[in-house]
Amino acid sequence: MNRYWTDVVRTLQPYVPGEQPKIDNLIKLNTNENPYPPSPQVLAAITAEANGLLRRYPDPNAERLKRTIAAHFGLEIGNVFVGNGSDEVLAHAFLALLKHPAPLLFPDITYSFYPVYCRLYGIEFETVPLRDDFSIAVDDYARPAGGIILPNPNAPTGRAMALGEVRRLLDAHRDIAVVIDEAYVDFGTDSAVGLVREYPNLLVTHTLSKSRSLAGLRVGYALGDAGLIEGLERVKNSFNSYPLDRLAIAGAVAAFEDQAYFEQTRQAVIASRDALDDALTALGFEVLPSGANFVFARHPQRDAAALQLALRERKIIVRHFTAPRIDQFLRISIGTEAECAALVTALQEILG
């Protein structure tokens, strides 16, 4: 440890992102990226924006993008917050809305950035165990809390919570902020955005990294009551007043404008996911129901770490988590039809 570090840094356990290896002819199914390229309109918009105005700061409020998002969801611009990927948006939400004397609640198996943010900001938290089938039990959150955050669908399990259950959670916790992290919602899960006007304590976060194929551009946003959004803006303007650059704003606006391309690629991923689920089940895997662009699967007779290694030797990488309860699961991102077929063929060879 460096002797100049603060005590906060000494105790941090940073989030570990998925591997980004540089291997030729790799089938990369480990970080839930979209297998299809961004809309051609996005690429054209970014190219057009790459001009002499790059010498100027971008709009600090990204109003063009906020108006586009607000119109897309039938909300007002005051209901929209934008940032560098949903991770930054979530970071601001943790500080602005979820840091209270009572503990923050989230599932015991969930997005592993949540405890990292808690430790970074000094937020007390408690984890709530998932059911044996890895679903979220709303009634288990009936305890004192300073806030609640849930991914829907959950990660890394992929299991989705019905919108009625989200509403039941909100009804039971009207006095605290409830954040629903919908990074994967576009792949078949009902969104809670329609509840924003009804529940002033609801914040919904989205990303353009998954369903809009823009993981490399880093654009995320939150939708909620204007009071919640103002809290996020106060943190953002005390941290980074120019979070989105000109290229990101232009590309993100174009992504929302090409709805036909979004639907085409979204449906292709859903179809490939369902087909992969069937193929893995036929190979003897237990596959959890998924509302995301990945599946979470385990084989009753094969060690997950050994399967991951055997796939890697065939230039196919998937993600393996070592946490208790899920250490025999593999999280497999949905690739193109050809990539999914190559994965199935490799598993057939490995399983004999």
Q: What is the pTM assigned to this prediction?
A: 0.96
Contact between residue 80 and residue 222 where contact means Cβ atoms under 8 Å apart: yes
Contact between residue 82 and residue 248 where contact means Cβ atoms under 8 Å apart: no
What number does CATH give the domain 18-37+260-351? 3.90.1150.10
Q: Which among 176, 213, 174, 168 is positioned nearest to 192, based on CA atoms?
A: 168
Q: Which among 167, 58, 152 is positioned nearest to 107, based on CA atoms?
A: 152
CA 166 to chain CA centroid, nearest Å:
17
Q: How far apart are CA 245 and CA 57, in angstroms?
A: 8
pLDDT tens string, the chain, 352 residues long: the values are 899 999 889 988 888 877 787 777 899 999 999 999 999 999 999 999 999 999 999 999 999 999 999 999 999 999 999 999 999 999 999 999 999 999 999 999 999 999 999 999 999 999 999 999 999 999 999 999 999 999 999 999 999 999 999 999 999 999 999 999 999 999 999 999 999 999 999 999 999 999 999 999 999 999 999 999 999 999 999 999 999 999 999 999 999 999 999 999 999 999 999 999 999 999 999 999 999 999 999 999 999 999 999 999 999 999 999 999 999 999 999 999 999 999 999 999 999 8
For the domain made up of 40-257, give the CATH fold.
Aspartate Aminotransferase; domain 2 (3.40.640)
- Domain locations along the chain: 18-37+260-351, 40-257
Q: Which among 303, 286, 296, 307 is positioned nearest to 333, based on CA atoms?
A: 296
